[in-house]
Amino acid sequence: MKKIKYCCFIACLLLSCSATKQHAKGWISLFDGKSLNNWKVGDNAETFSVDSGMIIVHGKTAHLFYDGPVLNHNFKNFEFKADVMTHKGSNSGIYIHTGYQQGGWPSKGYEVQVNNSHTDWIRTGSLYGIDNIKEVYVKDNEWFTMYITVEGKRVLVKLNDKVVLDYTEPDNVKREKGDEERVLSSGTFALQGHDPKSLTFFKNIMVKPLR
């Protein structure tokens, strides 16, 4: 009986590892580089496609939510990283502490802006509408790595190895009407497709859960 239980345990462990690839130092892949398995999109799903190991974002307004097994897609404290490439006029974003919506702009959580040359002046690394950055720290047509760390009320954003945002959410913060859920809580990640003129690539999307 003990041998059977041990074999079942090993089988379950192998299945778990195959579903979510574990990397060194606790990093876990959220994107398999081949498909949108474990991701969910509502309206305008054609905005997202996969090719050459990356998620291509190009089309009408849409949002792609992580919906997989890692922590049952509900993250509170974590380190997140993704390699990103923008093109001229691109506008995108990475949502944190958000939840699936069929359409529209996600109402829950924060958007970490991805925008180096769009007409919107709020640039890459901003917490959109909360703590905005005017400076451009990375270039279009070049891969850069975005790191996002959330611990308690603190959000830290790095572009490559440079800290560009360090924000601490006030206790009992109150947002304006319509933005009531624009606060830290817990939730999943989402990639933004902003408009048909925007073209953005994402790859090597990983998370490291923290206590």
Domain borders along the chain are 22-209
Residue-level pLDDT, tens digit, the chain, 211 residues:
434 333 433 333 333 444 456 667 899 999 999 999 999 999 999 999 999 999 999 999 999 999 999 999 999 999 999 999 999 999 999 999 999 999 999 999 999 999 999 999 999 999 999 999 999 999 999 999 999 999 999 999 999 999 999 999 999 999 999 899 999 999 999 999 999 999 999 999 999 999 8
Please tell me the predicted confidence (pLDDT) of residue 23: 63
pTM: 0.89
Give residues with Cβ within 8 angstroms of 96, minimum separation 6: 75, 80, 109, 110, 112, 148, 150, 155, 187, 189
Alpha carbon of 2 to those of 8, 13, 16, 183: distances in Å? Answer: 10, 16, 21, 48
The phi and psi torsions of 8 (rounded to 5 degrees) equal -65, -40
> Which of 97, 90, 105, 106 has the alpha carbon at shortest distance from 202?
90
Hey, CA dihedral for 55, 60, 61, 65, is it positive or negative?
Answer: negative
- Written as six digits, the tokens of 71 are 């922590």
Asked if 65 contacts 190 with a C-beta cutoff of 8 angstroms, the reply is yes
Q: Tell me how far CA of residue 95 lies from CA of 34, 100, 104, in angstroms.
A: 22, 11, 13
Predicted pLDDT of residue 5: 39
> How far is CA 49 from each of CA 55, 105, 144, 200, rounded to the nearest angstrom?
6, 20, 20, 11
The pair phi, psi for residue 71, each rounded to 5°, is 50, 30
Burial class (CB in 10 A: 0-12, 13-18, 19+), 180: exposed
d(CA 82, CA 103): 24
- 22-209: CATH topology: Jelly Rolls (2.60.120)
